[in-house]
Chain A
C-alpha cells in the first residue's frame, strides 16, 4: 500500500475542497496517507503532489519538516518516552532503559512483530505528570516500570484498543463538513467579506460596507 486508496482519494478531494488553494490541504492529506499506511510512504507523497498540484519534492520538503510524519515503517504503536528535564528528574531515563529491556529493542527501533516503535522525545508538555510518555500521541502519566509493562500487555492484548488507535489515526471521529457549510473557499485575493463581518461593519459604519466586498 502506498498510493491513496479510491475511498481515500474521495476523502482527499473533500478535504481539498475545504481550502482556498489545493496546496493548503497538503498536511491533512499527509495525515490521511499516514492513517492509511501507518507511515507516510514515498508513493503516497507522489500521489498527494498530484492531487494538490505540487511536485513530490515540495511534498517531501513540507512533510519532512514534521517529525510526526514517519517516512519509514513504524510499529502499530509508537511509544514516545520523554527524557527532557522534568521527566529526567523523575526517572524518565530509567523508564526508557526499562522500556528497552521490556521490548527488547533500542530506542529508535521497532520490535520484530511490528507492534512497537520506541523513541525518546523532548518535552511533551506533561511536566507536571512526569515521567510521562505517549503511545501514538495519547498520554500516559506518572509511569512506573510496572505501569509500563502492564500498559504494553494491555496494548498487546487489545484491551487498550479504545484508547489508542493504530499509529497514524488522528482521531476517532473524522471532521466532516457538509458541502453547504463550506463557504467562501476562494483564494484570498478574490474573497468577499463574510456576511457576519459585513453586517457588523454595516452596523458601525453604514457607509463603509456597501456590497460587503473585501
Chain B
C-alpha cells in the first residue's frame, strides 16, 4: 500500500451489492454506492485528501481528491470523496491531468500557508506537509505577502487556533456540528478573510473539543497539554484503552522519555470510531500530578509517614491477621485491570476469606442485575432504525462517547430514543420522546409504557412512546443505569425486570460508569460472587468447589456490599477496611454513612494513586500504578475485553494493584500463584471461568480481534423486583435528583491541568414553577434541608427540571448533596428556604 499521510483507516466493509470498477487499470470489487475514495483506499489505492474523514459526511471542500472518472461519457475530473461508485466505473487516480490538478490544489493551499513547519507541532505528522511532498509542485511561485492573523488564539481552555495555518477544510467545524452537536466554532467572514472562529467570548466549550485537534490536517489546532512538548519522530506509540469511563475507547498512547505526552483516538468500529472525550483524551495529565502517591505511608499519630514497602505491608498484614475474616471489608476495584481485580478477589475471598467485597460504591447496580439481564452491545443499541429505551444516567456527562454513538444513531441512522429521566439531559434533544418521572416513580411510568395498559390519549408523549416500544418488539434495546444518586437502585432494578418480563427478546446495555467496573464484577469483586459469575449461594456447588480447590478456600456465605460494609464499620463491627482505589468520602452517595464508616473502621488500608479525602484518613497507604503504567486487560460496559498496554513506569515505588495483592497474600501466608507478570493471572482467570474463556492471551493478540473480545454468558436467573413504595410527604416539598457532570472534583479529573478549571459551579436547579412561589431568581442563596441534613446552595432556574423536582450535582467542590441523602431511602425529599 502507498504512503497514507492521514492516520484515518478506511471504514470496514459493509457488504451491500458487490460491483466491479477499474482503478488505474486494475479491476477491483467494491460495494455499489460506497464512496469512491473509500473503495480505493480499502483496495490499496490511497487518494490524497484533506477534508474527507471516514466518520463524517463528505463536503468536497478541498478538491485534493480530484481524480478522472469515466462512467461512459468520457473521463472527467471529479472529487472522489463525493462520488459513489457505480458498476463499470473507470477511474484514473494518477493521470497527468490528476497530477497537475494536485499540484495546483497544493499550490493554492500553500499560497497563504505560513510554512512555519520548524516551529509547528504538526510538523512530521502533517498531512499538508506530507502531501505537499508527495503530490505538490515542489516549488512555490508565490511572491506576494501572505495573509496574516494573530498567532494562536485560544478558542477554549484547551484548544488553540492558528488561523494562518488553517486550510479551511471544514473538518473541525463539521465535527463540532455533526458529530459533537456543539456548533460553537464556525467559518466566520468571507472570501480571503474566511476563518474558523468562535463567537466573541463564547469559547469552544465542547466535551469533545480535543477531537478537532486530532483531525485537523494541519497544525492550525493544537491542544494545550501537548503544545511544544515533542516532535512526532521522538514519540513512541502503543495502543491501549481509555479507562476514564466504562465505554472503553481505544487510544494510542504517545510517550517520550518515560513521560506520557498525548492520547489519540483509534478507530475501533464497535466502540469509539476514533473519537474520545476530553476527559479521556487529557486524562493522562493526572499521571504526573504533583501529589501523586509515590511511596507507601503508615500512620503515626495524626500524620501519615513514609515507610518502606516491607514495613507498610507488614503493618497491613498484621491488621488483617488480627481480624476475623468477617470483620474485613474491601471496597472498590473498578479502577483496576481485570488481572488486578482477579488478584484482589482471590486475595480477599480465597486468602483472607471475606466476602465483604464490592467494586461499586452504592452508585451502581447490584451484580445480580448486571449478570441477570440479557446483554446488548453498543452496536446493537445503536443499530440503524433501532428503538432505544434509555433510563440511564446522562450519557453526555458520564459516558461521553456512548453519547456520540447514540446521537449518530438518531441523526444519521434513523434510530429513535425514548428517554425516561427525572430531569432534562444532554440526550433529551436527540430523543423522539422524553418523559420525566418524579424520583421514585419510574416503576409506574415503565408499567404504563410496557404493559399496554396506559391511559392512551391522556398523555400524547406517553402514548407515542408506548407505540414506539410496541412497534419495536423484540428489537427493543434498553440502556439502564443510575440517573439519580439520591434514589436507591431499587426503582431502576424494578424497571429493568418489568421490561424484561414484558418484552421477550429485549436486550440491555448496563450503563455503569467507572472504567473497569464490569471487569471487576466479572472477576469476582462483588458480594456473593466468585469470578465468572459463580454464585456462592446460588446452587453452583461444582464451580464453587472448583474455586475452593484452586484458591484453597472460598467464603462460606454471602458478604456485605459497600453500604453494608460502611454500616458495619460505623457500628464498630469492622476491623479492617480496604479501599481499593475507592474514595467513599467523595463517591458514596450518603455522606454521613461514608464518614461514620471510614472513621469507624479500626484499620483502613488504602491502595490508591492520590491522597483523596478517604486516603488521607487511612492507616496504611500503598501507592498504585495508573493507566499507561501497567500491562493488563480491561472490560468495558458491553463486556468487551481489550488490552491495556504499559508505556511508562509508575512514579516512585508505586506498583500495579495485582502485585500489591500478591505481596500482601505472601505476607498473610497465602500465594496468589503469580510470579512476574499479570498475564499469569489472566491465564488463570480465563482457564477457570466460562465467561472469559474465549478471551485468552493469544485470542486477544490476534489482529482479527483488534477491537477486543466481547465476553458472553447466559443471563443468570433474576427475580422480578417490586418497585419501591414511596409515600408522599408534605413537609418536604421537592424530590432531589443528584446527577453527575463530566468535570467534577473526582480524583483524576481534578488533577488534570487542562480540565480542573472546567468543573461547573454547584447550583440547585429548580423549575421556574417551583421557584416563583418562593420568589427565587437565579443565583439566590437557599438552604436545602432533607430529613438527613442540610446545605446552602445557589439557585439556577431551569425549565428542563420538572415541577416538584430539584437537581444537585454530585462531587463538586462546594455544597455536597451527599449531606442530604440517606442510602436507605427510596427517594430524598427536600425543603428549600430562602437564605
Interface residues of A, Cβ cutoff 8 Å to B: 42, 45-46, 54-61, 64-67
* Contact across chains for B190 and A57 when beta carbons are under 8 A apart: no
Query: Among residues 169 to 218 in chain B, which have CB atoms less than 8 Å away from a CB atom of chain A?
Result: 182-190, 197-200, 202
Q: Flag if B189 contacts A57 (CB, 8 Å).
A: no
One of B186, B189, B190, B200 near A58 (C-beta < 8 A)? B186
Further 20 A-B residue pairs, CB within 8 A, beyond A60-B186, A60-B188? A42-B199, A46-B199, A54-B183, A55-B186, A55-B199, A55-B202, A56-B202, A57-B185, A57-B186, A57-B198, A57-B199, A58-B183, A58-B186, A60-B197, A60-B199, A61-B188, A64-B189, A65-B189, A66-B190, A67-B190
A67: chain B residues within 8 A (beta carbon):
190
Q: Are B188 and A45 in contact (CB under 8 A)?
A: no
Closest residue of chain A to B189 (Cβ to Cβ) is A64
User: How far is A64 from B190 in the complex, measured between Cα atoms in Å?
Assistant: 7
B residues within 8 A CB of A61? 186-188
Contacts of A64 in B (CB 8 A): 188-190
Contact yes or no, B183 A45, CB < 8 A = no
| Leading 7 A-B pairs by shortest Cβ distance | A61-B186, A56-B199, A57-B186, A57-B199, A64-B189, A65-B190, A64-B188
* B positions within 8 Å CB-CB of A: 182-190, 197-200, 202
Q: Specify which chain A residues have a CB less than 8 angstroms from the CB of B197 in the assembled complex.
A: 57, 60
Task: With CB as the reference atom, state the residue of chain A lying closest to B204.
Answer: A57
- A55 and B189 within 8 A (CB): no
A55 is contacted by which of B184, B187, B188, B190 (Cβ under 8 Å)?
Answer: B184
Question: Among B182, B186, B187, which residue has the most Cβ atoms of chain A within 10 A?
Answer: B186
CB closest residue in chain A, given B176: A57
Q: Which of B189, B198, B199, B202 has the most CB of A within 10 A?
A: B199
Bound complex: CA A67 to CA B190 (Å): 9
Give the CA-CA distance A55 to B204 in the complex, in Å: 11
Per DSSP, chain B at the interface is strand
Contact in complex: A55, B200 (CB < 8 Å): no
Listed A/B pairs (16) with beta-carbon separation below 8 Å: A46-B199, A55-B183, A55-B199, A55-B202, A56-B199, A57-B186, A57-B198, A58-B183, A60-B197, A61-B186, A61-B187, A61-B188, A64-B188, A64-B189, A65-B189, A66-B190
Which residue of chain B has its CB nearest to the CB of A59?
Answer: B199
Cβ distance A2 to chain B, nearest Cβ, rounded Å: 13
Q: In the assembled complex, how far is the CB of residue A114 from the closest CB belonging to chain B, in whole angstroms?
A: 23
- Closest A residue to B182 by beta carbon equals A55
Residues of A within 8 A of B199 (CB): 42, 45-46, 55-57, 59-60
Residues on B with C-beta less than 8 A from A42 are 199-200
A177 to B243, CA, bound (A): 57
Which residues of A are found within 8 Å of B183, using beta-carbon distances?
54-55, 57-58
Report Cα–Cα, A64/B184, bound state, in Å: 15
CB A11 to nearest CB in B, in angstroms, measures 24
Cβ of A58: which chain B residues have Cβ within 8 Å of it? 183, 186
A205 to B780, CA, bound (A): 67
Docked CA distance A46–B199 (Å): 9
The complex places the Cα of A59 from the Cα of B202 at a distance, in Å, of 13
Contacts of A60 in B (CB 8 A): 186, 188, 197, 199
Expressed in whole angstroms, the minimum distance between the Cβ of A51 and any Cβ of chain B is 15
CA distance A55 to B182 in the complex (A): 8
Beta-carbon nearest neighbor of B186 in chain A: A61
Q: Please name all residues of chain A whose beta carbon is closer than 8 Å to the beta carbon of B187 when the two chains form the complex.
A: 61
Minimum CB–CB distance from A182 to chain B (whole Å) comes to: 24
- List the A side residues contacting B182 at CB < 8 Å: 55
Chain A, residue nearest B191 (CB): A65
Shortest A47–chain B CB gap in Å is 12
Q: Taking the nearest CB of chain A, how far is it from the CB of B628, in angstroms?
A: 35
In the complex, the chain B residue whose C-beta lies closest to that of A60 is B199
Cβ contacts under 8 Å, A57 to chain B: 183-186, 188, 197-199, 202
Residues of B within 8 A of A66 (CB): 190
For A55, the chain B residues whose CB sits under 8 A away are 182-184, 186, 199, 202
- For the complex, what is the distance from the CA of A64 to the CA of B187, rounded to whole Å? 9
Which A residue's beta carbon lies closest to that of B188?
Answer: A64
CB distance from A121 to the nearest CB of B (A): 14
B808 to chain A, nearest CB (A): 26
What's the Cα separation between A192 and B435 when bound, in Å? Answer: 30
- Cα separation A66 to B189 with both chains bound (whole Å): 8
Chain A hits for B188, CB < 8 A: 57, 60-61, 64
Contacts of A45 in B (CB 8 A): 199
Chain A, residue nearest B199 (CB): A56
A54 vs B183: C-alpha distance in the bound complex, in angstroms? 8
Residue of B nearest to A46 (CB): B199
Minimal beta-carbon separation of B797 from chain A (angstroms): 15
Distance, CA A45 to CA B190, complexed state (A): 18
Which one of A55, A56, A57 has the highest number of Cβ atoms from chain B below 10 Å of its Cβ?
A: A57
Q: Which residues of A contact B198 (CB under 8 A)?
A: 57
Give the residues in chain B near A65, CB-CB below 8 Å.
189-190
Q: Nearest Cβ in chain B — how far from A112, in angstroms? A: 26
Task: Give the complex CA separation of A60 and B185 in angstroms.
Answer: 10
Complex: A59 Cα to B183 Cα, angstroms: 11
CA distance A184 to B127 in the complex (A): 48
Distance from B212 Cβ to chain A, minimum over Cβ atoms (Å): 14
Nearest residue (CB) in A for B185 is A57
Q: Which residues from chain B contact A59 at a C-beta distance below 8 Å? A: 199
Closest to B173 in A: A61
The residues of A that contact B189 with a CB separation of less than 8 Å are 64-65
User: Closest B-chain residue to A66, C-beta based?
Assistant: B190
Shortest beta-carbon distance from B201 to chain A in Å: 8
A46 CB, nearest partner CB in chain B, Å: 8
**Shortest distance in angstroms between A43's beta carbon and chain B's nearest beta carbon?**
11
Tell me the minimal C-beta distance from A180 to chain B in angstroms. Answer: 26
The closest CB in chain B to the CB of A42 belongs to B200
User: In the complex, what's the smallest C-beta–C-beta distance from B171 to chain A, in angstroms?
Assistant: 16
Q: Give the CA-CA distance A192 to B189 in the complex, in Å.
A: 37
Give B702 Cβ to nearest chain A Cβ, in Å: 45
A41 CB to closest chain B CB, in angstroms? 11
A189 to chain B, nearest CB (A): 12
